[in-house]
A and B are shown apart, each in its own frame.
Chain A
Amino acid sequence: GENVGLHLPTLSVQEGDNSIINCAYSNSASDYFIWYKQESGKGPQFIIDIRSNMDKRQGQRVTVLLNKTVKHLSLQIAATQPGDSAVYFCAEVGAGSYQLTFGKGTKLSVIP
């Protein structure tokens, strides 16, 4: 697959458990953050976003937490399902910028 050679960190969770995927971002001036899900053979798919004036945002089964002090972003997935198996990327956007800077990605494997 396209992720061969990328040496992604892998997280394996049991179906029904909660998953937490972490990301350290690099630019303290970034003011917008997004989590993407990428399934094999597909492009990145938007999951949830958060602006720098917030520290938590919730969606359907997903929560994003932002800690600007330590430049850390996390994605929590509740009641993880087999369909959640994918590679998850965080991305940051600097103030006034249109460029997304992607993190390395984490591969989530859900054990039925």
Chain B
Amino acid sequence: GQQVMQIPQYQHVQEGEDFTTYCNSSTTLSNIQWYKQRPGGHPVFLIQLVKSGEVKKQKRLTFQFGEAKKNSSLHITATQTTDVGTYFCAGQENSGGSNYKLTFGKGTLLTVNP
């Protein structure tokens, strides 16, 4: 079945440093989504990428979808303590069928030292 791998598992940075997490799928995706889970909270949707090579920005966050639609990245510029949490990617396989199940990566836990 489809697998979504995410690296790194953990990342600790000093406030102001940049951060990137990477996501790779074993199969071509129809779309990829990113979620953030704050400590003690539940995952909250950040963004969805659909097009090959798509790049979207949300303030200091930049999301990319690879040309082959099998990989994606989330880059945070100049991290702040409010960025702390676990970032998950979730891919939907381009199966062409009626099963729209999302497959989540294991997430990257980001901690920021003030």
Q: Do A and B bind each other?
A: no
Residues of B at the A interface (CB closer than 8 Å) are: none
Residues of A at the B interface (CB closer than 8 Å) are: none
